[in-house]
Amino acid sequence: MHSRLWHALVATAALLVATAATAVATPNTAVGDTGDRAPIAGSTPTWATPHTEVARSNGHTVRHIQVALALRDQRDAERLATQLATPGSAEHGQFLSSKAFLDRFAPTQDTVDQVSQWLGTQGLRVTGISANRHFVDAEAPTSALESAFGTRIAAFHTRVDGVNRTLTAPAAPVTVPTSLRASITAVLGLDDSAALLKPQHTRTTTAAAAAEQHCARWWNEQNNTDVPQKYPAGFQSNSLCGYTGTQVRAMYKLGNGNTGAGTTIGVVGAYNSDTIVADTNQAAAQLGVPPLASGQYSAVLPQGGFTDATACGADGWNAEQTLDVQASHAIAPAAKIRYYAGKTCRGTGLYDAFNQAVTDNAVDVISNSYGNADGESSLPQAARDQFNSMALQAAIQGQTITVSTGDAGNNSGPVGHPTASFPSSSPWVVAVGGTSVGLDQNNQPKVLTGWENSGNTQSGSSWAPQKDADGPFASGAGGGTSALYDAPDWQVGVVSDSGGKRAVPDIAALADSYTGMLVGQTIKGQFGIGSYGGTSLASPLIAGLVVDAQQARSGNARAGLLTPALYSLKGSSAIADVVPQKAGVWTPMMHAFGGVAAPGGQGSYLIDFDARPQNLQSGPGWDNVTGLGTPADGFISALSQ
């Protein structure tokens, strides 16, 4: 586009925006409302700036929102959650029921009624109240929402995973009546920040058939000696085909009695695969895992069906669901699995599903394999606070939450600088990083190191480091230091150089795509089995191990917030310390996993394990790739105490 035309268009857009700003209606005044307004801090995303604004939103577009209500005593809830999870505490393990939590901490019914009444006076239609009174659901045209919350809703240009996107958000802070400000902590659904949350798995595609023909069923079963051997004998292998359920169980030293019997695993995602049970059972028959028993799997689906399937990439979410179910089932084959589906990746869809899993209190651990590679601050503070509030309730009820840390390393590729991802940086979750694992024919670890891969392309008789947009980085687990949250007590004295901030991950499990796990899925009517990886694999693996430990605990007692117990195991035989190991895999097809640049097409490539392509690498003690390390032989026993 010519420069002169471009500047003219920008000027026109700015004029339209300025004109639109003067057209915002003054909020209506409810009975008993003086008209004084108070802003909600952190209600606008960092990417919604005057420089990125491009247009005013259509005032007739109906948006579904959630008004989040404050807990009655946030500080005491945080204190209790910590004490309940701390070994040796007088309150350790004395978790509250959902009703007890509601009676002690939830907003009162009077608060719900006051907020609902005010919304009605503003022309909003209240459509529901969550069972834990955390959210008041409502809907209205955009113009009514602007009037009610004293803001202007506009469209903004931003980049998501390196792709230009146009997303909607408030152009000014959301405000509410001063008389209600202490009760209202956020208004969700006014912006499209949730669209930044994506499933965090990696998988091969149909174009990888050439790679699958050369893959190894175990480490070094096949090693292409026609290419340069960069590593000593036994430490260079063809990429793995993907481990079976039997191999993954052996990886974590699980016996026949470790089944998770008497427990329930929750999985949160968006959309729903209609073939999930059939796929899981068909895969189980080939991968050494028992099939799902009748009634062992259930799904909680949203009322009214799903929306935005194309824009949100529903197929990717279906693949995520399939991976999460089959990975957790392999580790805990007798545990029940309950899937909570968001109706969309946008708006409040994922939060609805997560809140339902917490409110139902029917699952012991909740696995979340999604996050944002655009940095934890790309989600508005008010939205992050709501996840933390729900996670806090889960901890008080004894539910453990696992969250994948991401597949784009330190996120400097999409963001431009190192940053942690959310919700893995939340202090109320177990942040799960990734490992690269090479098992030998007897299922013993020949290679165990952090998942931070560097890519090389064959150049004659040597390997040349790749020089893509993100340098040699060729996939890896997320990790690093949060810029937002202080270090929890259990990380003090364990994690160094964090500047007093929350550091991720806490623990790690199998995640490397080139040493992944086999998963069966029906795609376009055709069932197939292929290798999956990503920290989306690691999170449900840890979830399965958590319920295996719960099975061994007296009375199947829950663990709740698991991090204090994990950090108390530092240096014990229960957790294997992970350090860099010089090893790598050859592949004829390199893939762009997790938004990572890759050359594409057939060729000859070598993947270096844990080679510090960015600033992340495993190391002695806690590290920013694997946290404390990875579960070892004594993990189940230690956590069952």
Tell whether 127 and 241 lie within a shared domain.
no
Task: State if pTM tops 0.95.
Answer: no
Least confident of 61-75, 304-318, 471-485: 304-318
Q: Which of 423, 376, 420 is nearest to 402 (CA)?
A: 423
pLDDT above 80 (res 196): no
Last residue of a domain, one of 191, 218, 234: 191
Task: Annotate 360-409 with three-state secondary structure.
Answer: HCCCCEEEECEECCCCHHHCCHHHHHHHHHHHHHHHHHCCEEEEECCCEC
Cα(544)–Cα(530) distance, integer angstroms = 21
Does any domain span residue 89? no
47 phi/psi in degrees, rounded to 5: -85, -5
Find the domain containing 161 and state its range. Answer: 27-71+106-191
Tell whether 179 and 249 lie within a shared domain.
no
In this prediction, residues 402-431 reach a mean pLDDT of: 91
Does any domain span residue 77? no
Cα(382)–Cα(185) distance, integer angstroms = 7
Tell whether 210 and 186 lie within a shared domain.
no
Q: Which of 184, 601, 89 is nearest to 385 (CA)?
A: 184
Q: How many independent structural domains does the chain possess?
A: 2
**Which pLDDT score, from 0 to 100, does residue 162 have?**
62
Last residue of a domain, one of 168, 191, 214: 191
Cα(493)–Cα(500) distance, integer angstroms = 10
In this prediction, residues 197-203 reach a mean pLDDT of: 64
Tell whether 214 and 182 lie within a shared domain.
no
In this prediction, residues 21-27 reach a mean pLDDT of: 37
Does any domain span residue 80? no
**pLDDT (tens digit, 9 = 90+) per residue, 444-481?**
999 999 999 999 999 999 999 998 777 899 999 999 99
Provide the mean pLDDT of the chain.
Answer: 89
Does any domain span residue 327? yes
Does any domain span residue 226? yes
Q: With contact defined as beta carbons under 8 Å apart, do 164 and 137 qualify?
A: no
Kindly give the pairing relationship between strand 336-342 and strand 264-270: parallel
Q: Quickly list H helices, 142-244.
A: 142-149, 209-213
615 phi/psi in degrees, rounded to 5: -115, 15
pLDDT above 50 (res 25): no
Kindly state the tokens that stand for 466: 């790749």
Tell whether 502 and 397 lie within a shared domain.
yes
Q: Which of 589, 528, 563 is nearest to 82 (CA)?
A: 563
pLDDT above 90 (res 512): yes
Tell whether 244 and 180 lie within a shared domain.
no
Tell whether 148 and 230 lie within a shared domain.
no
User: What CATH number is attached to the domain comprising 277?
Assistant: 3.40.50.200
Choice between 227 and 164, residue whose per-residue pLDDT is larger: 227
Query: What is the band of 14 on the pLDDT scale with cuts at 50, 70, 90?
Result: very low
Query: What is the band of 279 on the pLDDT scale with cuts at 50, 70, 90?
Result: very high
Tell whether 218 and 176 lie within a shared domain.
no
Cα(239)–Cα(332) distance, integer angstroms = 27
Q: Which of 17, 83, 95, 6 is nearest to 50 (CA)?
A: 17
Does any domain span residue 356? yes
**Which pLDDT score, from 0 to 100, does residue 205 have?**
44
Burial class from Cβ neighbours inside 10 Å (0-12, 13-18, 19+) for residue 278 reads: middle
229 phi/psi in degrees, rounded to 5: -95, 100
pLDDT above 50 (res 575): yes
Cα(335)–Cα(250) distance, integer angstroms = 18
pLDDT above 90 (res 294): yes
Last residue of a domain, one of 160, 191, 222: 191
Query: What is the band of 249 on the pLDDT scale with cuts at 50, 70, 90?
Result: very high
Choice between 40 and 58, residue whose per-residue pLDDT is larger: 40
33 Cβ contact list (under 8 Å, min separation 6): 118, 177, 179
pLDDT above 70 (res 347): no
**Which pLDDT score, from 0 to 100, does residue 260 have?**
98
Least confident of 42-56, 225-239, 398-412, 472-486: 42-56
Tell whether 150 and 289 lie within a shared domain.
no
Tell whether 548 and 404 lie within a shared domain.
yes
Sheet holding 53-56, edge to edge: 53-56, 153-160, 163-170
pLDDT above 50 (res 19): no
Least confident of 31-40, 335-344, 498-507: 31-40
Cα(535)–Cα(631) distance, integer angstroms = 15
Q: Which amino acid is at 200?
A: Q
Cα(518)–Cα(323) distance, integer angstroms = 9
Measured over all CA atoms, what is the biggest interatomic distance in the chain, rounded to whole angstroms? Answer: 81
Tell whether 182 and 245 lie within a shared domain.
no
Q: With contact defined as beta carbons under 8 Å apart, do 461 and 589 qualify?
A: no
Cα(261)–Cα(329) distance, integer angstroms = 11
Does any domain span residue 200? no
Q: How far is CA 230 from CA 168, 214, 225, 400, 456, in A?
A: 49, 18, 11, 42, 11
In this prediction, residues 621-631 reach a mean pLDDT of: 98
Tell whether 173 and 257 lie within a shared domain.
no
pLDDT above 90 (res 401): yes
Does any domain span residue 612? yes
Sheet holding 517-523, edge to edge: 202-203, 526-533, 517-523
Least confident of 31-40, 43-52, 243-252: 31-40
In this prediction, residues 556-572 reach a mean pLDDT of: 94
258 Cβ contact list (under 8 Å, min separation 6): 249, 332, 548, 551, 552, 636
Kindly state the tokens that stand for 420: 């942690």
Q: Which of 189, 240, 242 is nearest to 215 (CA)?
A: 240
